[in-house]
Amino acid sequence: MLLVFLFSLICLSSSVPLKKMGNSSINLKKSVETGNLLQVILKNKKDPAYLLSVLSNVNPADLNAVIVLVEALLAASEADLAALTLGATEADNAYNAATTTYDEAVLLKIALVGEESQIQVDLDAKAAEVAQQTNVVSASLTAQTEAQGAKTNAQNTHDTETTRLGSEILTLKQVIALLVGLGAKTVVAATAGPETLITPGGRDGWTGFSMLNTNAVVPAHESNQGVRLVGWQWNGFDNGNTITLQIYRQTSGTNYQLIGQNTYDSQQGLNEMTLGTSLAVESGDVVGWTFHGSAAVGHTGGPATTRWGQNNVQFNGVGNTYNFPGSGGRNYPIKANFEIYGL
């Protein structure tokens, strides 16, 4: 379009005769004579004063035609400028959008790199756990193999010894039967205390004191028999407390003589002790005990009748007689084991 307008304008301006100018402007006259009007306008477009002096001598009819062409050219140029401005604006907007997308991509990349680093840290930690567990599995396999070997050896020993021990047990039973038939003394086991050593319940608030159970009595026996204490059983409240297990014999009322005793470090749960030397007791003697510090066993409510002395007073002199003024229905998991034997 612009080229068409330029071509038309050049053709028109080439046919337009210029009027001669006065001698007062020799350069102007020479410029107009040597070129057409459009060439003069284009060549001197930066010199408004000169163009006005030239255009003031142009035929008005020719000048109007030039104006029409120039205005059309101006409109085309303005349209091109608007298109270029629009294109520049769109390019700027596209650049801004691309910059935003780029910035977002950079931030996302930074976040992903951080996540990747954390994943790598987690992966390394998990790999360390796997390696550690692999060592555990290897050690467990070794232990299992050793245990299997011990199991096999134990089973072989059991199989080998079962026949021998069975024959030995049978022989010993026959010997016992033979001795009894010849008039040998018999031994019968007996206990004094609760049948079941229940798990301790409450715990006494007193410390370092003595008690006895009037229901835990040495069993009766024939006149030609004797009774001896051979062991103890009790259910410990916890670890680390000392208990002295005792046998008392009533002298009068609430007074009891201490016949014998054994002291142990109590452990939590079932405790079982066998005496190295038995203690001769009599029918009617009762089981007692002394706590050293906190109570080594707990208690529950029950039919047992317990008696106690005083807080922080320990009865531990064998042969001495002590008074037990307090009493109540409590069940302490303490049992004495006896043997009744023929005389």
204 and 289 in a single domain? The answer is yes
Q: Is residue 228 one of the residues assigned to a domain?
A: yes
Are the C-beta atoms of 10 and 2 separated by less than 8 Å? no
Q: Is residue 111 one of the residues assigned to a domain?
A: yes
For 315-332, how does the pLDDT look when each residue is reduced to its tens digit (9 = 90+)? 999 999 999 999 988 889
110 and 67 in a single domain? The answer is yes
Domain that holds residue 228: 187-342
* Average pLDDT of span 288-295: 94
* Average pLDDT of span 303-323: 92
Residue 239 pLDDT greater than 60, yes or no: yes
Q: Which residues pair with 286 in a beta bridge?
A: 217, 248
Q: b/e string for 92-102 if b means 16 or more Cβ within 10 A?
A: eeeeeeeeeee
Q: What is the pLDDT of residue 261?
A: 96
Residues whose CB falls within 8 Å of the CB of residue 188, separated by 6 or more in sequence, listed in order = 339, 340, 341
For 114-139, how does the pLDDT look when each residue is reduced to its tens digit (9 = 90+)? 999 999 999 999 999 999 999 999 99
Residue 24 pLDDT greater than 50, yes or no: no
Residue 2 pLDDT greater than 50, yes or no: no
Burial class (CB in 10 A: 0-12, 13-18, 19+), 135: exposed
More confident of the two residues 90 and 219: 90
Q: What is the pLDDT of residue 168?
A: 87
Distance from C-alpha of 246 to C-alpha of 263, rounded to nearest angstrom: 9
153 and 197 in a single domain? The answer is no
Confidence of residue 210 (pLDDT cuts 50, 70, 90): very high
Of 148, 163, 184, the residue at which a domain comes to its end is 184
Of 119, 154, 184, the residue at which a domain comes to its end is 184
Give percent of the chain with pLDDT exceeding 90. Answer: 49
206 and 280 in a single domain? The answer is yes
169 and 202 in a single domain? The answer is no
For 135-154, how does the pLDDT look when each residue is reduced to its tens digit (9 = 90+)? 999 999 999 999 999 999 99
**Dihedrals phi, psi of 308, to nearest 5 degrees:** -145, 160
Confidence of residue 265 (pLDDT cuts 50, 70, 90): very high
Q: Which residues pair with 260 in a beta bridge?
A: 247
98 and 221 in a single domain? The answer is no
Q: What is the pLDDT of residue 186?
A: 57
212 and 314 in a single domain? The answer is yes
Residue 26 pLDDT greater than 90, yes or no: no
Mean pLDDT (the chain) is 82
Q: What is the pLDDT of residue 201?
A: 76
Residue 156 pLDDT greater than 80, yes or no: yes
Place of tokens 């009819």: 61
149 and 11 in a single domain? The answer is yes
